Amino acid sequence: MATGPVVPTDPIELLTNDPIREEPFINKHWTAGLCGALTFVSVCFGHWATKRPMLSGLQRNAMYTGGAAFIGEIIENYRREYLAERDAVLRHYIQLHPEDFPVPERKKYAEVLESWVPIR
């Protein structure tokens, strides 16, 4: 039988980071790549709108793209820190008030879904 990810049984496990799982490359650098690509396209569009060659001033395009990618990386780091702090606050609240977060009982689909009768 195939084994998939472990389903958390305790509410605090939902907010606990799995140290074994490494974040995929695309997830790490998505914001920086998107900011850089949008900046490059914007500069090329500006050149097109002013009827200049698309790639004129290539060193300026590279500088703007690199700067935007750097800013995107700063934004992503800020986002990660904010979400980590939020999870820590929620985890701490759950630890202080475990009576407000009981472990939900597992149900099967048969217990949740109602019987279906086709109407023709």
3 Cβ contact list (under 8 Å, min separation 6): none
Mean pLDDT over residues 4-16, rounded? 77
How would residue 79 be classed by pLDDT, with cut points 50, 70 and 90?
Answer: very high
Amino acid (one-letter) located at 101 = F
Is the CB of residue 78 less than 8 Å from the CB of residue 108?
Answer: no
How large is the average pLDDT for residues 5-29?
80
pTM: 0.72
CA dihedral 88, 93, 94, 99 (to 10 degrees): 180
Which pLDDT does position 104 carry in this prediction?
82
Nearest of 75, 57, 79, 78 to residue 67 by alpha carbon: 75
Measured from the Cβ of residue 49, the count of other Cβ atoms closer than 10 Å reads 8
**Most confident range, picked from 15-19, 21-25, 71-75, 98-102:** 71-75
pLDDT band at 44 (very low <50, low <70, confident <90, very high): very high
Mean pLDDT of 67-93: 94
Write down the pLDDT at residue 70. Answer: 96
20, pLDDT greater than 70: yes
